[in-house]
Amino acid sequence: MAKSKKKSLREEDIARLKKKITERKAKTGKVLGDAALRTLRKRLKREQRKRRALAQRLAHAQGKKKEAPPQPAAAAG
């Protein structure tokens, strides 16, 4: 349960950062030379890297196993 909670928090954080970046771009007009915007972008990229790394670790840990399709209730019982 804790892992799913962290994943949703990470997704919320990424969405929040994207929103901040778009607001900042609209407010300032110029993109180059804005240190705060650059910092926000770096934080967003860092979070995206963490998310991709986690997905890759989980996929690698599963090995060659495929996702088992759910069995119908009539066939199981």
Domain parsing of the chain, residue ranges: 7-60
Q: Evaluate if pTM is beyond 0.75.
A: no
Task: Report pLDDT digits (tens) over 39-63.
Answer: 999 999 999 999 999 999 999 998 8
Task: Report pLDDT digits (tens) over 5-45.
Answer: 556 788 899 999 999 999 988 887 776 778 889 999 999 99
CA gap 4, 24 in Å, rounded = 30
Selection from 51, 31, 26 nearest residue 41 by Cα = 31
CA gap 42, 39 in Å, rounded = 5
